[in-house]
Structure 1
Amino acid sequence: MTSTQFPLVVDNLSFRYRDRQGAAIHNISFTANPGEVLLIAGASGCGKTTLVRCINGLIPRSYKGEMSGTITVFGEEVKDWKLSQISQKIGTVLQDPERQILGTKVVNEVAFGLENLGMPREEIFPRVDEALNFLKISHLRNRETFNLSGGEKQKVALAGVLAMRPSIVLLDEPLASLDPASAQDTLDAVRLLADQGLSILMVEHRVEDVLRIHPERVMFMSDGEIRYLGDVAGLSKVVNYREVKLPAEDIVERAKLDPAPAEIKILPGVTSSQVGQDALVRFENVAFGYESGVEILHGINLQINRGDVIAVLGPNGAGKTTFVKHAIGLLKPKSGRVFVGERDTTEASVAEIATMLGYVFQSPSHMLFAPTVREELAFGPTNMKHSKEQIELEVKEALKIVNLSEKEKDPPLALSFGQQKRVSIAAILAMRSRILVMDEPTAGQDYQNYMKFMDSILQMPAFEAIMFITHDVDLAAIYANRVLMISDGRLIADGKPQDVLRDFDRLKANRIIPTSLLALNLKRLSTTGRFMRAEALAHI
């Protein structure tokens, strides 16, 4: 195949951001083939997103710095192309759909790119419907984008790209906000697009999920360079299993050769006699709807007790975030009551509730605003009137936990999505609220970072309970001592992980797909008595 026939050729590409030391990527060379899925994996901050920005033209047009090397599309160098020209050949779905969606209604959002090209309406709407049908989201056509869940927004962003009919599609963490079944639907769509001749470059931490659609090649990046580029079979031999999440059986085989991991003491500030004794938060028959007459939550009854580590599972659009926002007072029930401590949330301000509950939003762009990471972290404790010495200590400890100590002087919004997510978590850690609530804490995180900061968070004596919304079944299995399952605004399961997660029929009915780690844990449960991470199972 000649260079003019290759959809994409990247040759000796390097880039350094204007406001940062050192190159983000250097000496990157590869070609993308038609009809290929190329999986790009690697730790957060290793240069994956920078590579995507170079290919889609955002570098150097929107992100400034020093760039060298060439990028050619079907034999033509793209450095002088306009972004509108690039977008017709190269479609991009960003990590954070909040940054991509501009239209108020789904149909308008999917049509946006086509309208910008001046295409006639009679051609636009068939293309819009074709993209919505392809992704199985036609039912969202007339919905307002503001009221969509994070996962639904991700699918709408992809539909907007597909409507443009590009030859190359760049997907930057497309599964980050999706429930497991939606992720599988998206991956099936990606496989179909590749089989129809498109070149797909997919940046993704959920490697095990992507392996199900048999990507033709895998690129593994580290410190801004390509460390491996080849078939899937060779990947597990060259990558660090702590950095890239491989299937559980592969991790077990590799981890057998290493020392057993240390036992994690969960919520050390809570004694065994206190666990489950005190209700920190109570929901009493809570119902809620954003629009009058349309109910999203129906009759939620539960309490969060001291010592609880709760994973909240359920499909996209099930009401999980709406439920959690009631706990922190951002939303007030239409009927029923929520108590934080002994206070009814209708009688307490969000600022008052924040001393009890700290909340990490799903999208970091909803939280981050300060000029530096350090100022971002100091903002909450300063508002809560913590002393100067205390704030200094809280900021340093929070940065250490999320592995960002060297970034304290950087602007938060100049960091990668995964790093931004960790900054938003650190901002809440620094406030030392009694209960930590996180919405998709591991979205955009590599395996090593999310295991490290989850281990650290659960060992912090400041917290009396932790609750996290997640689509990651393994995160629930490893860290939670209680799992809530929400579907269609109703609480349909509440119990220990080994009780809730063993019902595969119920999981699949609620768009949750069992993982290799869950299957392995259930197989060994009679020996272990509890769920464990793969690295620990290797030494049982």
Structure 2
Amino acid sequence: MSVSFGDRQVLKGIHGDVKRGQALLVVGPSGCGKSTWALLAAGLIPGTVEAHVEGRVWRHPSLARPGAIGYVFQDPESQFCQIRVGEEIAFGLENMGVDPVLMDARIQAALNDAGLDADREMEHHTLSGGNKQKLALAAALALHPEMLILDEPTANLDPAATAAVFDQIERLIDEGTTVVVIEHKFGELVERIPTMLLFNRDGTIHRVGPTAAVMAEERAWFIDQGLIEADAVKQPVSSAAVSNGTSAIELVGVAARYHRRAPWVLEDLSLTVQPGELVALVGPNGAGKSTVLKVMAGLMKPQSGIVRRPPSAQTGFGFQNPEHQFIFERVVDELANRYVEGSVPADVQTLLDEFHLSGHEHESPYSLSQGQKRRLSVAVMVQRPRRLYCLDEPTFGQDARTRRIIMERLEERRVHGAAVVISTHDMDLVRRYATRVVAISAGRVIFDGAPQALMQNLDVLRAARLAPGQESQPEAVHPERPAVFAAWTGRTRSSLLGRLNPAWKLVAVFIAVGLGASAGTLRQAIPLAVLPVALMLFFSGLGVVGTARRILPFAIFFAIYVWMMTAYAAVGPNTSVVHVLWYRLSFPGFMKGLVLGTRMLAAVAFGILFVSTVDLVDLVKSLSRQFRVPPKFSYGTLAGLSFFPQFREEWQKLRLARRVRGKDARFSFIRVVTYALPLLSDAVRLSERVAIAMEARGFVGRVTEASDARSYYRASPSGWRDALFLVVVVGLTAAALWH
């Protein structure tokens, strides 16, 4: 069979099968169609992912049930549809109808298996890239799937975490799970996975067979396809730096964190980089490597410490997620750093050929494979000479050939006097290319020296999680970004009002606000405003200060209401007025303003009461459970809300990308116009990917249509307290109006 996207054929003449209980290692050059084949095997092509398919795919009927196929995508950020860690893992279990009583144990077991020691109440957008990858793995493992497809599951993981994932894969194989692993770091899996599937660069299958035999007999093919290096002995580069006495960048006593209440990501970190050095930053996931690069590039300002860089020094920066690099809608425009009309410029064609992107010049950067996106992002950064290059995981998702292409271009820049700083988990790359290696753990430098010296220091290797199998427990995870939904979670959940069912609470508040709109006198309006404020003061857990902080800002609107009605309300011919300038102030207008303003405060207070005492996730799920709202709407709403924390980040990343590309608008008001279309495009792309990820975790068929076709993790039950709250609130509101 064959698979095409538009005019581009990705897979050609594919045939074969995956047997139940089989373990398959899928290997091939970057961009050869491995991920497309996996989506086809999972049933996501055709259908969820639009593609033209010629041929037939048969799947065992047991794979049709929700959660039967677990899938971990290349990009972990695009597969989350909930808000918090625990709920993200529970989503697939809900689709399977797992008893909620059993969910906590399965969630914790999945977190342990994935090596993620994170609080289940954490908002997952606060995690580092590597820890997001662990969460994606945990969400798949929790399903106990019959078939598990892992697409580059260790791309962003440190060596110790990578080894733990490979151990988990081996355990799943021993348990009889059908496992498909797509992995560029296949050398560590050849003894664990018995069958290997090889893809040619053109999207055809080269061979399927026993892993040991394939590895022994296909060495020439592996070299020809660029999957392994031809030279067995890897000589380290010269450590000599080309320096004129001026450092390329110097950090002295730097401390940094992402928001005021967050743990410190960097603490008292000092580091100097000289021109002509290629410095590799290594260490565990979440250690602060990406933050160091951002501080070096001037994209993040530390809270304390000194950053010294030469005046007018230009810095190139490569984001960990290559999509954050892109600001144009075509590959050719990205490489030219401008809109290209007519034929491809010669210098751009050279980059296309060098980075194996020829034939993709008129495609969207976002339609490329993950490996191709990475090569494009690096090509964009190195095309212009700069004094300092800071790149975050520049070689993830690459085969041996494309990794060498990237590193040789960086080496060329180094030889010509630039300083290059990269973060990486690839220790073979460190040995081969780095002139110096800096190990970071818990935001501090724990080693700074030659790669050979690091490899001989077992204590540092263990501390930096660079020695696989050395750790017995996963590192505790701390948030790297501010929580966005904190006001909706945790603070008032234990209060009397916080324990009420959110759906019935919404009904009570909705009725009260609706009735309050008919208040026509001050005598009616004042009790309506006092009621929600009293509930907040005594039953919400907010207290006097918390209540005042929420209510007082609306005093401005109250004053505006009163003034507008006092100065502009229509009055009768016999009504006395006071003329001040061009205003006609009247007492009837003043009283009408008081009524309208108090009525507004009542409605606002009820809204604040609701928002301050309800959990957003529980609300959305309760609407499905209590009022039979179809899950596709309620969970679709949650998926949309999960994008909200990313909006500010996407805005910032787009601004940073334009800054490092020299394309940022000079005035802030112009950015609103300039960023609108890219942000909209990002939202559409992310929505499409999340829809695919939701379906991959069993959100299909009746599970999306009927609220009783699924189970609910931690959904609030309804009871007599909810009925009492409804009766009291509606009754007191009606009583106020009766007068």
What is the TM-score of this pair, normalised by structure 1?
A: 0.79
- Cα separation, partners in 2 of 1:50 and 1:508, compared to 1, 3 Å: same
CA distance in 1, matches of 2:86, 2:309: 40
CA distance in 2, matches of 1:394, 1:275: 29
Deviation string 1:286-305 (CA, Å, 9 cap, x unpaired) is 01122435212111111111
- Cα separation, partners in 2 of 1:145 and 1:16, compared to 1, 3 Å: same
Corresponding residue for residue 219 of structure 1: 197
Corresponding residue for residue 164 of structure 1: 143
CA distance in 2, matches of 1:407, 1:87: 36
SS in 2 for 1:215: coil
Corresponding residue for residue 26 of structure 2: 40
CA distance in 2, matches of 1:31, 1:273: 53
Aligned AA for 2:454?
V
- Structure 1 gaps of 5+ residues are 1-12, 79-84, 256-260, 344-354, 516-540
Deviation string 1:318-342 (CA, Å, 9 cap, x unpaired) is 1111111111122111111212224
Corresponding residue for residue 503 of structure 1: 457
How many residue pairs match? The answer is 462
Spell out the pairing of 1:134-533 with structure 2 (5 A cutoff): 134-212=113-191, 214-222=192-200, 223-236=202-215, 237-239=217-219, 240-242=221-223, 243=225, 245=227, 274-275=242-243, 277-292=245-260, 294-342=263-311, 356-379=314-337, 392=345, 394-460=347-413, 464-513=418-467
Spell out the pairing of 1:50-129 with structure 2 (5 A cutoff): 50-74=36-60, 85=64, 87-116=66-95, 119=98, 121-129=100-108
Deviation string 1:376-395 (CA, Å, 9 cap, x unpaired) is 2233x78xxxx999x94553
SS in 2 for 1:228: strand
Question: Could you say which structure has the higher strand fraction?
Answer: 1
Q: Give the alignment's Cα RMSD to 1 decimal.
A: 3.0
- Given that 2:184 and 2:397 are in contact with CA atoms closer than 8 Å, whether structure 1 keeps it comes out as yes
CA distance in 1, matches of 2:278, 2:159: 21
CA distance in 1, matches of 2:412, 2:376: 19
Question: Could you say which structure has the higher helix fraction?
Answer: 2
- Given that 1:228 and 1:238 are in contact with CA atoms closer than 8 Å, whether structure 2 keeps it comes out as no
Query: How far 1:514 sits from its partner (Å)?
Result: 7.5
CA distance in 1, matches of 2:174, 2:237: 48
Identity, in percent, stands at 33
CA distance in 2, matches of 1:300, 1:264: 27
Corresponding residue for residue 16 of structure 2: 30
SS in 1 for 2:169: helix
Query: How far 1:465 sits from its partner (Å)?
Result: 1.2
- Cα separation, partners in 2 of 1:228 and 1:388, compared to 1, 3 Å: closer
- Cα separation, partners in 2 of 1:119 and 1:241, compared to 1, 3 Å: closer
Corresponding residue for residue 346 of structure 1: none
CA distance in 2, matches of 1:439, 1:399: 22
Query: How far 1:121 sits from its partner (Å)?
Result: 3.3
- Given that 1:17 and 1:63 are in contact with CA atoms closer than 8 Å, whether structure 2 keeps it comes out as no
Aligned AA for 1:192?
R
Corresponding residue for residue 2 of structure 2: 14
- Structure 2 gaps of 5+ residues are 470-739
- Cα separation, partners in 2 of 1:245 and 1:208, compared to 1, 3 Å: farther
- Given that 2:287 and 2:441 are in contact with CA atoms closer than 8 Å, whether structure 1 keeps it comes out as yes
- Given that 2:67 and 2:95 are in contact with CA atoms closer than 8 Å, whether structure 1 keeps it comes out as no
Query: How far 1:89 sits from its partner (Å)?
Result: 1.7
- Given that 2:265 and 2:443 are in contact with CA atoms closer than 8 Å, whether structure 1 keeps it comes out as yes
Query: How far 1:180 sits from its partner (Å)?
Result: 0.7
- Cα separation, partners in 2 of 1:118 and 1:333, compared to 1, 3 Å: same
Greater Cα shift, 307-316 or 225-234: 225-234
- Cα separation, partners in 2 of 1:264 and 1:68, compared to 1, 3 Å: same
Deviation string 1:191-223 (CA, Å, 9 cap, x unpaired) is 1112112100000010112235x2111111102
Structure with bigger gyration radius: 2
Aligned AA for 1:421?
R
- Given that 1:433 and 1:463 are in contact with CA atoms closer than 8 Å, whether structure 2 keeps it comes out as no
SS in 2 for 1:471: coil
Deviation string 1:54-105 (CA, Å, 9 cap, x unpaired) is 11222112332321222222268x8xxxxxx565221110111111123332
What is the TM-score of this pair, normalised by structure 2?
A: 0.58
CA distance in 1, matches of 2:159, 2:409: 26
SS in 2 for 1:507: helix
Aligned AA for 1:226?
I
CA distance in 1, matches of 2:387, 2:351: 15
- Given that 1:276 and 1:307 are in contact with CA atoms closer than 8 Å, whether structure 2 keeps it comes out as no
Greater Cα shift, 50-59 or 122-131: 122-131
- Cα separation, partners in 2 of 1:264 and 1:312, compared to 1, 3 Å: closer
- Cα separation, partners in 2 of 1:27 and 1:364, compared to 1, 3 Å: same
- Cα separation, partners in 2 of 1:58 and 1:40, compared to 1, 3 Å: same
Query: How far 1:265 sits from its partner (Å)?
Result: 8.9
